[in-house]
Chain A
Amino acid sequence: MGERRMTGEAGMTGRIGVTGGCRGVGRSEPRPDGVSKVEGLFSYVGDLSVPGMLHARTLRSPHPRARIRRLDTAAAAALPGVAAVVTAADVPGLATYGLIVSDQPVFAAAETRYAGEPVAAVAAVDAATARRALAAIEVEYEPLPPLVDPERALEPGAELVHPDGNVFRKITLRHGDPAVEGSVVVEDSYVVGMQDQAFLAPEAALVVPAADGGVDLWVATQWLHSDREQIAACLGLPEALVRLELAGIGGAFGGREDVTLQIHGALLALATGSPVRIAYDRVESFLGHPHRHPARMWFRHTATPAGDLVSVQARVVMDGGAYASSSPAVLANAVTHAAGPYRVPHARLDGLVVRTNNPPCGAMRGFGVPQVAFGHEAQMDRLADRLGMDPVALRVRNALVPGDVLPTGQVLGPPLPAREAIEAVAARPLPPRLTDDTPRTARPGGRAAGAPISRIRRGVGYALGYKNLLFSEGMDDSSTARIRLALDDAGQPFATVHSACSEVGQGFVTIAGQIARTELGVERIELLPADTRVGSAGSTSASRQTWMSGGAVRGACVAVVDRLLARVARALGLPAEVVESPRRALVIDEGEIIGAETGTRLALTEALAAGPVEAEYTFHHRRTTALDEHGQGDPHVAFAAAAHRAVVDVDPDLGLVRVVALALAQDCGTVINPLSLRGQVEGGTAQGLGLAVMEELVTVGGVVTNPTLHDYLLPTAADVPALDFVALTYPHPDSPYGAKGVGETPTCTATAAIVAAIRDAVGRDLRRVPVRPVDLVDLADRDDWDDRDEPVDAAPAASADRPDAADRPDVVDRPDVVDRPDVVDRPDVVDRPEVVLREGHR
């Protein structure tokens, strides 16, 4: 962005300038962007504007599958105030993009494959004009029957949703002896609905065309350099001409890992020669980014009568929707974590992620693990029940310990306090029982509660889980940071930190400052905006930035100190071997360079008077390997464990659940910032609560029916109880300071624990999340209720005694679970106004 540096301009660098006292790693340092956030001054991407800026909006297919017969933008382009309309025909470079596989069209050209797929975009003088222009675009669709059931999409002879085929990935993991089973057997099927990240700030970007033919973009993404690669390819521009800077981000949770509106905005900026702000409203946000994969899962657990797990079989079918996004990696996580954090000598874990005409699914906090954790933890409770064992005792007995061999064949490295986690939550005090004095607001349903206290049922449930940290399967997702140590105008030392790490709210900006202060011993740290002028930091996902970009910042600081000390050693005329490795003789301490043996005592300010010192460092994690054809390998860098205990009250008359109390014990490694840690585990727990009892993006015939915050329920302050939190802090030997990423693990276990508690309260199986009121009450006539996604038998067609049959998903034919195709053409379903179908021809 060269001459366009924003340094010093209100709202840009000001928002992340780090100032403050000399506090470091391990302290609850406040966020450097906190003051501007509480005052309302922090600029989010949708707040940015430049003079002469145009406003862009997107036209989306209302049909889950349709041929585009005719697309005429002339009338729209001719409207006063409309500056440009772009479609697939206007994409100069690659027609498709994607995180792992480039299979998603920038705009649908001949065929649309999901309801909500972009077809065109318009830039106009204001948003209202742009919206009117969308309505003036004429699109003639020929609706085709969509393929919305993943099992159907797997049938032999199924129509191909996409020329690349209907299977994004299949994994067949075999470990131990498939024939060996224990005498105690539990087997069942489970269903997970589609969850949305629902970050609070809807998507937006500001794109400014540059004089050199390139574009400058201010974006809200989890991974700047991946965005740049995909945008440049589609624009047909060299990457050097596509410059990105991170704008303020209002949450992400996986939903900003994929490119959404960036390319559209850039095409419009280049077409018009004007700056363009492209933005989504809430409905478009729900339709515009990939969601958490819905899953149908079958598990068969066997154990000895004493309670030792002998084998786990699982078949996990995930619905990837129309395009790949990160589906292949999500499936690997689901399959490799399907047995949970337990010692399992024999495992057969099969996974498929399937292409359908449903909305694309990709990354969301937990990345494939919350789905299987819901399944394996339900199975552990059943097994405990069958064995007559306490569910905590069963988990303790089977919990992984370092040195155990995982189903992938990977040997579990230390630390992994899984057993400690479940023991710790079980030891926490339980909340008091309801009494007649319990206020209405603290009962199921809140103020409008129904059942009398005597009818409300309480339940307690547990879940133990673990989640991989960092990218897996041989990926070298490195992170680069640059540090500059210099004197400021007042002659005081200050450090500048430059990393492309995406701050989405998690607090990397805070810990980057803490690390730099700790390593450099200076008080003033300035964090430059994250942008593409520095090397990639990789994605803000997979619980990886504290470890990876924290490691990069630390490494660059260490290099800066080394260089400075060497310079001092040279200036002091110290021997060559000291200049070579100056830490042997010199240290930085409290703003001074001290050499005990050499009698050196030099103020940092003096040492820096000779000029600034700079260093860049790229951090790599240990190498992992891909999975072989049997799902064996050393795929994951590291893991973190967590256990939740949930206590719920259920009103059985109205089917209302109140989560009364949650306890969490989590494996956190060394704690870098206790306050941030708490915020992460509380937020992660709340998202797991959402999946347990309220959050679901409902599709009917491939069309999302509830893409609003009115109909998609998010947990509120009245729904999420205080979290009783225990941090287990065993340092990890490979990470900076021994830290582990903490954001995802609690999301993996909260859902399972809450549903276990509801089962305990009402005595029902509850094989599906989210649990809905209708799942908890006795309805006289269940046929009245739409049963299209009831818990189903997701077992492989063959029973377990025919081992090889599990490999043949194509034999599965379950008419009871398919989406009824007749729904698709019902105009009242497809064209319901709240679905907000932006079809042009009327």
Chain B
Amino acid sequence: MSTGGVGPDGAGAGAAGMRAGVGVGVGVDADAVSAGVLSLSYRLNIDGVRRAVADARIEESLLTVLRERLGVTAVKDACEQGRCGSCSVLLDDRLVLACTVLAADAVDARVVTVAGLGAGGPAADIQAAFLEHGAVQCGFCTPGMVVAVTDLLGRRPSADEDEIRDALAGNVCRCTGYGRIIAAVRDVQASRAQAATTTGTVRWANGA
């Protein structure tokens, strides 16, 4: 790859450049024009960074814009039908499937992907537990699963196993049979509870 090299799609720029070269732009999309569909330019807040989206068709999903226009490949695409959970992201702290949200509807919202949750963030211990407990095989479900677990434990820190299984039922994993994923979640709950107890003790000690 003398021109650059294969890597994670960083590639909005490359794709745009290519379009210009061939003389095709979204704005002149014949079908789109005849269908009366407009293209839009807007900005999205992805993991705390403002990203510009130029000339996107209005019907493009958040998943399409993230992956194909912005090169955010940490969000996975296994069905585009709202049926697998691999595209799970947080939209203003709410768990959503990026394939079922219009990107243009996310303009004023905070979009958080798995990449924005780790490294000292709210999912760092979840990610560590996934590794330690063998909850990752092919890993294709993992980014979405980590986001869903982050959401669940944020809302229901002491959910029991049935509730955890129920809450994660929208995230399909074909490899693991879920056993190690559940083990990882239980472990995170235990260590968070432990940490909370310790903190509570310290606070009480300070208060005394």
User: Is the pair A6, B6 in contact by a Cβ cutoff of 8 Å?
Assistant: yes
A201 to B74 CA separation, bound complex (whole angstroms)? 13
> Which residues of chain A are within 8 angstroms of B181 by Cβ–Cβ distance?
717
Q: How far is the CA of A678 from the CA of B22 in the complex (A)?
A: 51
Interface string of B79-106 (1 = CB under 8 A from A): 1110110100000000000000000000
Q: Are A38 and B142 within 8 A (Cβ)? A: yes
**By the criterion CB–CB under 8 Å, are B134 and A40 in contact?**
no
Q: Which residues of A contact B84 (CB under 8 A)?
A: 200, 709
Q: Is the CB of B138 within 8 A of A198?
A: no
- Tell which of A25-33, A630-638, A731-739 binds the partner: A25-33
Main SS of chain A's interface residues? loop
A441 to B159, CA, bound (A): 12
Given contacts A11-B7, A717-B171, contact A683 B177 (CB under 8 A): yes
Q: Which residue of B140, B160, B162 is within 8 Å of A44 (Cβ)? A: B140
A718–B137 CB distance below 8 A: no
**Inter-subunit contact A52/B3 (CB<8 Å):** yes
Q: Is B163 an interface residue (CB 8 A)?
A: yes
B115 CB contact (under 8 Å) in A39, A80, A446? A39
Q: How far is the CA of A487 from the CA of B51 in the complex (A)?
A: 44
Interface locus among B12-20, B190-198, B199-207 = B12-20
Q: Give every chain B residue within 8 A of A714 (Cβ-Cβ).
A: 172, 174
- Contact between chains at A40 and B138 (CB < 8 Å): no
Q: Does A34 contact B (CB under 8 A)?
A: yes
* B83 with A39: CB separation less than 8 A: no
B5/A200 in contact, CB under 8 A = no
Given contacts A4-B1, A30-B132, A39-B74, contact A206 B6 (CB under 8 A): yes
Interface residue ranges of A401-451 to B (CB < 8 Å): 439, 441-442, 446-447
Within 489-521 of A, Cβ neighbours of B (below 8 Å) are at 504-507
Interface string of B59-80 (1 = CB under 8 A from A): 0000000001001011111111
B131 touches A684 (CB 8 A): no
- B4 in contact with A48 (CB, 8 Å): no
- Measured CB to CB, the nearest residue on chain B to A275 is B1
B171 and A709: CB pair below 8 A?
no
B77 CB, nearest partner CB in chain A, Å: 7
Whether A12 is near chain B, meaning CB under 8 Å from some CB there, is yes
Q: Which residue of A lies closest to B78 (CB)?
A: A200
CA–CA, A47 to B10, complex, Å? Answer: 9
Chain B nearest CB from A476 CB (Å) reads: 29
The size of the chain A interface, using a CB distance under 8 A, is 84
CB distance from A742 to the nearest CB of B (A): 13
Summarize B's interface: helix, strand, loop or mixed: loop
Complex Cα spacing A34 to B139, Å? 8
A9-B7, A709-B79, A714-B174 given; A51·B18 CB < 8 A: yes
Nearest CB in chain B: distance from A679 CB, A? 5
Question: B173: CB under 8 A from chain A?
Answer: yes
| Residue in B28, B79, B115, B140 with the greatest tally of chain A CB atoms within 10 Å | B140
| A50–B1 touching, CB < 8 Å | yes
* Alpha-carbon separation in the docked complex, A716 to B177 (Å): 8
Q: By the criterion CB–CB under 8 Å, are A441 and B81 in contact?
A: no
Nearest-Cβ distance from residue A683 to partner chain B, whole angstroms: 4
User: Which of B75, B114, B163, B178 neighbours the largest number of chain A CB atoms within 10 Å of its CB?
Assistant: B178
CA distance A245 to B157 in the complex (A): 43
Q: Is residue B45 contacting chain A, with contact meaning CB distance below 8 A? A: no
Choose among A127, A447, A678, A687 the residue with the greatest number of B CB atoms under 10 Å from its CB: A678
Tell me if B187 is interfacial: C-beta within 8 Å of chain A.
Answer: no
Q: In the complex, A357 Cα to B176 Cα: how many Å?
A: 34
Q: Is the CB of A679 within 8 A of B8?
A: no
23 contacts between A and B (CB under 8 A): A35-B131, A37-B142, A38-B136, A40-B115, A49-B8, A49-B14, A50-B3, A51-B11, A53-B18, A125-B22, A200-B175, A250-B140, A281-B80, A675-B134, A675-B180, A678-B179, A678-B180, A679-B176, A679-B177, A683-B137, A683-B177, A714-B172, A716-B171
